[in-house]
Amino acid sequence: MECPAPPLDPAMESPAPLTRQELNRGVVALKRPNHTTNLYYLAREYLFLALAIGLPIAFFRWTRSLGYPLWVNLPGYLVSIFFIGAIQHRLSNLTHEAGHYALFKNRYMNELVSDLCCIFLLGATTQNYRVSHWGHHAYVNDPEKDPDLIRLKQHQEYDFPMAKGRFCLLYVILQMLPKQSLKYLWGRAKIAVLGINEGAFAETKPVYGSMPTTLLRIAYYSAGIALLTWQGWWIYLLLFWIVPIVTFYPLFMLLREIAHHTNVPDNSTYRNSRVFRPGWLEGFCIFPYGQAYHLPHHLFPSVPHYRLDKAHELAMRYPEYRNNTTICGGFFLSSPMDRQMPTVLDLLSQPA
């Protein structure tokens, strides 16, 4: 089922239609990243992370001092690892920005901050991610060349459309079990951690080479091991990083990947992905940092996440984009203003 784009409001109807050349010229001004915007977003993620870890620890210490049983901490802990998994996903999406050299204007800053502050925390490197991700952009939804599609089919392959209940069982409930979760993580780790690529990949020149990256990783993880040992924080690493990384983090990653390209009408330029209108929680967990504007991202991959909404608004003045773009709500729910739109779950359950 394809959801046609909703009517533009009067403010958007007044500008004249654009040709593709005019659209491309208009997008050029949106492509330039800066050195400040993503520093704010990165600092905010670390604040979220500090709260998600610090609050349940403080609550545990308080309840223990009062003699409460350990189980009273369980609800708060589950909420904590839910949001930590979302933050891990959000950090990986800042590396997605770096993969397109859109995190910062300076490429060394782009690579170094992405490695040290985002993706090293998940065991991977920006360059390993980039070479595979560019292959996905070049051959989106090609069953023989798209590395993302190849990896997802190796994880679990089912035909769409799929009934909503069956989808929730297979891709949500069973996905949370260790077997499926670790299988999905291994598929991603082969690419982003070990640099093993299947399908097409881009021969991009590393920003600072494989040897400096290896030495940087050794120093980074050695310092981390030393700090954890010195402070006796290994239990915190297990409870507040490893547990969410094998539960909620892969769930959010998988749902986002499915939403972007599964059961689309066809693989043509304007119909191989979608634009989403999620509510705040799904926007935080599943569609962070421009992932709700995935079709314009594929058209204009150099546009930073904080300008993709403007790229979409501009593209809506181009008739071929406007007439073919699928705009839907969130994955399970839509934003309050877009309740009339079908959700991703609706689209996955009906013929494309």
Taking 90 as the threshold, does the pLDDT of residue 194 lie above it? no
In three-state form (DSSP H/G/I as H, E/B as E, the rest C), the secondary structure along 13-69 is HCCCCCCHHHHHHHHHCCCCCCCCHHHHHHHHHHHHHHHHHHHHHHHHHHHHHCCCC
How far apart, in whole angstroms, are the C-alpha atoms of residue 93 and residue 308?
14
Give residue 145's region: left, alpha or beta (phi > 0; psi -120 to 50): alpha
At 14 the pLDDT is 58
Taking 90 as the threshold, does the pLDDT of residue 157 lie above it? no
Residue 3: which pLDDT band, with cuts at 50, 70 and 90? very low
Long-range contacts of 338-345 (CB under 8 A, 24+ apart): 338/277, 341/3, 341/6, 341/277, 342/1, 342/3, 344/258, 344/259, 344/274, 344/276, 345/164, 345/167
**Which residues does 201 contact at the CB level (< 8 Å), separation at least 6?**
131, 132, 134, 135, 147
Q: Where are the domains of the chain?
A: 1-30+266-352
Residue 288: which pLDDT band, with cuts at 50, 70 and 90? very high
At 197 the pLDDT is 76
Taking 50 as the threshold, does the pLDDT of residue 40 lie above it? yes
At 287 the pLDDT is 98
The 3-state DSSP composition of the chain as helix, strand, coil percent (nearest 5) reads 65, 5, 35
How far apart, in whole angstroms, are the C-alpha atoms of residue 40 and residue 57?
26
Residue 338: which pLDDT band, with cuts at 50, 70 and 90? confident
Report the predicted TM-score, pTM, of the whole model to 2 decimal places: 0.93
75 C-beta neighbours (distance < 10 Å), count: 10
pLDDT in tens, 69-127: 999 999 999 999 999 999 999 999 999 999 999 999 999 999 999 999 999 999 999 99
At 217 the pLDDT is 96
- The separation between the first and the last C-alpha atoms of the chain, rounded to the nearest angstrom, is 4
**Mean pLDDT of all residues belonging to the chain:** 92
Residue 12: which pLDDT band, with cuts at 50, 70 and 90? very low
At 290 the pLDDT is 97
More confident residue, 14 or 2: 14
**Span of 14-28, 89-103, 167-181 with lowest mean pLDDT:** 14-28
Judged by DSSP in three states, 131 sits in helix
At 209 the pLDDT is 85
At 135 the pLDDT is 92
